């Protein structure tokens, strides 16, 4: 090929390339009509078509609802501000209007980052999470008052007269929200398996003490006719109740979020607790339950949410069996005392007394007045024992360190004068359920939350006017003044009690006087992180008890008690007065013990 030929070919190619860039583009030719009888060509791989294909593969009949715009609907009542979202048709956010966090910020019981719902419908191709799809709603944001009702509907329609509907009914006052789930005309679209509802709830920190809050957070549920306290936040656990569950709640210290089945209970329930290392959240609770598809198709999918305070007066009004047991009132034998006496008594005083510190003082005085007969009986018994102290000292000199002999002689003396050693213990033991019941009640009283008194800003948690630059083991880095006052008053009471009560020390037995001083100090370490209201109650209780005994002492004549003891001694010796059944039992027990000891001594001698 010569040089001229090569130059000509380059020039021709350059002209063609220039023409491609410089010549105007021809108008687009319209596409020929598609013959429906023939298989259409494969569509061009555009993004929307790819999204639809993926949605169809993932959601099947529900694919057209995979795209849309999320719409918020806000319904505000006297107590709640509820935000619903059309994506999933779920409760997106719950604001408790009458409560604040310990930092005085708005208290959101649920919000989008912390709470996730997943409603999975069984289809022939597998489960479909419709909470990821876009529902349609005709509802609008509104504010309603007490006595008014707002109804909000979210629909997911796959064909005419074939849809999933979530219906929320909100009252103008209160913390319950009715929730109805309906499957209409869905027989062909769904498999014959249960619908599953999963609720993942990361519980926030609303109180100041994170460690104490993590100890009391639980998932509670009602199963088999009884209320079972489920999982706590201190360990990663899973629980599968064997029986069907009527309701379950995710319980913070003072607040609840829960779901109640009005008709058929939840089945195949799986409850999980997952501790959190993030200080924003206390723990993550997850509840996974099965809903009967047949019931949902038949219009029996009636449920109720509860979003509100764990207030005994509020939760006991919820139409669910034993729902009030979400408020921890102590062990089974203490619960009736709190439930039927102390809670109503506390609420009664609330009607007339606005300051909760003064209310606690009045509560102490009222209870102490009720217990006065027991305190008086206990004091008289201790006075009798005190009168016998000189005779017991003489007996101790005779028997020396023989503990068994000392105990026998001591019991004989009590029998001679008609004194029962238990007469002083029984009244004291009778007051123990009161102290124990209040020990459980005060930490669970939401009424004390953020109520201030003197230097305590919040009676529902410890008062901490002083902070230490270091941490004391088992005590902490703060100083609770009410706990210190409680300890000091308990030490004063122990000293006073030791003065009026004879203490008999025996070999191998602890020194009761020293124990009386050691116990208050031990309780100081335990109570330092407990609610200030409880420490204040015990402090006032100790003060009133000392004053009560001082008053009783003024009406007790020691000489008269001595005369009664001598008269009893004469009557018992002459047979005019019979011994008590308890004295007879003690006498028989001592004789049996003495006979057993003699037999043992004789057996030893024979062996020698």
> DSSP letter at 43?
P
Which of these ranges, 121-135, 151-165, 506-520, 553-567, has the smallest mean pLDDT? 506-520
Do 443 and 368 belong to one domain?
yes
CB 527 within 8 A of CB 486: yes
Whether 311 has a pLDDT exceeding 90, the answer reads yes
Percent of the chain past pLDDT 70, that is, above it, reads: 76
Three-class SS state of 446: helix
Report the 10 Å Cβ neighbour count for 492: 14
Do 505 and 391 belong to one domain?
yes
CATH number of the structural domain spanning residue 189: 2.70.98.90
Q: How far is CA 153 from CA 90, 133, 477, 480, in A?
A: 11, 15, 52, 52
CB 597 within 8 A of CB 404: yes
Which of these ranges, 272-286, 288-302, 411-425, 434-448, has the smallest mean pLDDT? 411-425
Do 137 and 178 belong to one domain?
yes
**Sheet bearing 255-261, strands edge to edge:** 136-137, 149-159, 162-171, 176-184, 302-309, 255-261, 245-251, 218-223, 226-232
Mean pLDDT across the stretch 458-468?
88
Per-residue confidence (pLDDT) for residue 597, from 0 to 100: 65
**Domain finish residue from 279, 306, 327:** 327
Identify the residue with better confidence: 192 or 387.
Answer: 192
**Domain finish residue from 308, 327, 346:** 327
36, part of any domain = no
CA dihedral sign of residues 538, 543, 544, 546: positive
Write out the two tokens for 333.
Answer: 């034998």
CA distance 512 to 85: 66
40, part of any domain = no
Which among 194, 385, 387, 378 has a CA at the least distance from the CA of 290?
Answer: 194
Mean pLDDT of the chain: 80
CB 116 within 8 A of CB 101: no
> DSSP letter at 445?
-
Whether 600 has a pLDDT exceeding 80, the answer reads no
Which among 172, 269, 175 has a CA at the least distance from the CA of 219?
Answer: 269
Q: Which tens digit of pLDDT belongs to each residue from 25-37?
A: 433 333 334 333 3
8, part of any domain = no
Mean pLDDT across the stretch 147-173?
92
513, part of any domain = yes
Whether 225 has a pLDDT exceeding 60, the answer reads yes
Whether 213 has a pLDDT exceeding 60, the answer reads yes
**Domain finish residue from 301, 327, 353:** 327
CB 274 within 8 A of CB 236: yes
Q: Is the pTM of this model over 0.75?
A: yes
Do 500 and 465 belong to one domain?
yes
Which of these ranges, 162-176, 263-277, 334-348, 593-607, has the smallest mean pLDDT? 593-607
Do 120 and 211 belong to one domain?
yes
Mean pLDDT across the stretch 490-502?
75
Range of the domain at 110: 61-327
CB 565 within 8 A of CB 417: yes
Whether 197 has a pLDDT exceeding 70, the answer reads yes
Whether 4 has a pLDDT exceeding 80, the answer reads no
CA distance 148 to 138: 19
Number of domains the chain is built from: 3
333, part of any domain = no
Do 556 and 421 belong to one domain?
yes
553, part of any domain = yes
CA distance 340 to 342: 7
Do 149 and 122 belong to one domain?
yes
297, part of any domain = yes
Do 297 and 227 belong to one domain?
yes
Which of these ranges, 60-69, 118-127, 140-149, 290-299, has the smallest mean pLDDT? 60-69
CA dihedral sign of residues 125, 129, 134, 140: positive
Per-residue confidence (pLDDT) for residue 535, from 0 to 100: 92
Q: Which tens digit of pLDDT belongs to each residue from 235-258?
A: 678 888 888 999 999 999 999 999
Mean pLDDT across the stretch 273-287?
85
Do 543 and 588 belong to one domain?
no
Do 533 and 390 belong to one domain?
yes
Do 602 and 517 belong to one domain?
no
Do 345 and 320 belong to one domain?
no
21, part of any domain = no
Whether 46 has a pLDDT exceeding 50, the answer reads no
Write out the two tokens for 479.
Answer: 């100083």
């Amino acid at each position: 090929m010569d040089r001229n030929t090569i130059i000509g070919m380059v020039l021709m190619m350059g002209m063609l390339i220039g023409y491609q860039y410089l010549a105007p583009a021809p108008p687009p030719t319209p596409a020929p009509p598609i013959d429906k009888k023939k298989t259409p060509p494969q569509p061009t791989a555009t993004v929307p078509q790819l999204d639809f294909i993926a949605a169809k593969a993932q959601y099947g009949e529900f694919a057209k609802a995979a795209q849309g715009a999320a719409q918020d609907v806000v319904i505000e009542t006297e107590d709640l501000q509820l935000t619903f979202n059309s994506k999933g048709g779920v409760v997106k956010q719950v604001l408790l209007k009458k409560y604040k966090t310990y930092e005085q910020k708005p208290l959101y019981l649920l919000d989008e980052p912390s709470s996730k719902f997943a409603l999975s419908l069984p289809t022939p191709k597998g489960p479909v999470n419709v909470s990821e799809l876009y529902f349609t709603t005709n509802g609008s944001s509104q504010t309603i008052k007490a006595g008014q009702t707002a109804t909000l509907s979210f629909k997911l329609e796959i064909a005419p007269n074939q849809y999933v509907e979530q219906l929320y009914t909100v009252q103008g006052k209160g913390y319950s929200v009715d929730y109805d789930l309906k499957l209409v005309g869905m027989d062909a679209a769904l498999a014959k398996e249960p619908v599953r509802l999963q609720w993942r709830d990361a519980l926030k920190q609303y109180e100041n003490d994170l460690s104490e809050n993590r100890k009391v957070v639980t998932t509670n549920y009602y199963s088999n006719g009884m209320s079972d306290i489920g999982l706590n936040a201190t360990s990663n656990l899973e629980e599968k109740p064997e029986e069907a569950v009527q309701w379950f709640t995710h319980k913070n210290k003072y607040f609840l979020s829960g779901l109640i089945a009005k008709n058929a209970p939840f089945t195949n329930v799986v409850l999980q607790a997952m501790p959190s290392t993030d200080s924003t959240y206390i723990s993550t609770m997850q509840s996974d339950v099965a809903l009967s598809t047949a019931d949902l198709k038949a219009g029996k999918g009636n449920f109720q949410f509860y979003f509100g305070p764990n207030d005994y007066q509020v939760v006991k009004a919820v139409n669910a069996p034993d729902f009030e047991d979400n408020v921890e009132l102590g062990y089974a034998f203490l619960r009736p005392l709190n439930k039927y006496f102390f809670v109503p008594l506390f609420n009664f005083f609330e009607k007339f007394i606005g300051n909760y510190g003064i209310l606690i003082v009045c509560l102490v005085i009222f209870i102490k007045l009720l217990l006065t007969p027991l305190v008086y009986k206990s004091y008289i018994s201790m006075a009798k024992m005190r009168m016998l102290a000189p005779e017991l000292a003489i007996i101790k000199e005779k028997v020396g360190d023989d503990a068994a002999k000392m105990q026998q002689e001591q019991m004989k003396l009590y029998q001679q004068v008609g004194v029962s050693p238990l007469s002083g213990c029984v009244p004291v033991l009778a007051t123990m359920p009161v102290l124990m019941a209040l020990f459980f009640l005060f930490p669970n009283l939401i009424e004390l939350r953020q109520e201030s008194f003197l230097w305590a800003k919040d009676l529902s948690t410890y008062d901490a006017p002083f902070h230490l630059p270091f941490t004391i083991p088992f005590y902490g880095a703060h100083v609770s003044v009410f706990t210190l006052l409680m300890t000091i008053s308990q030490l004063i009471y122990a000293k006073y009690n030791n003065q009026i009560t004879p203490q008999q020390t025996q070999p191998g037995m602890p020194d009761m006087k020293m124990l009386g001083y050691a116990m208050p100090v031990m309780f100081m370490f335990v109570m330092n992180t407990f609610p200030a209201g409880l420490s204040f109650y015990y402090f006032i209780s100790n003060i009133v008890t000392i004053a009560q005994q001082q008053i009783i002492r003024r009406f007790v004549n020691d000489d008269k008690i001595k005369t009664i003891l001598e008269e009893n001694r004469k009557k018992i010796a002459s047979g005019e007065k019979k011994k008590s059944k308890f004295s007879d039992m003690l006498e028989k027990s001592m004789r049996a013990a003495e006979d057993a000891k003699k037999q043992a001594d004789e057996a030893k001698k024979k062996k020698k």
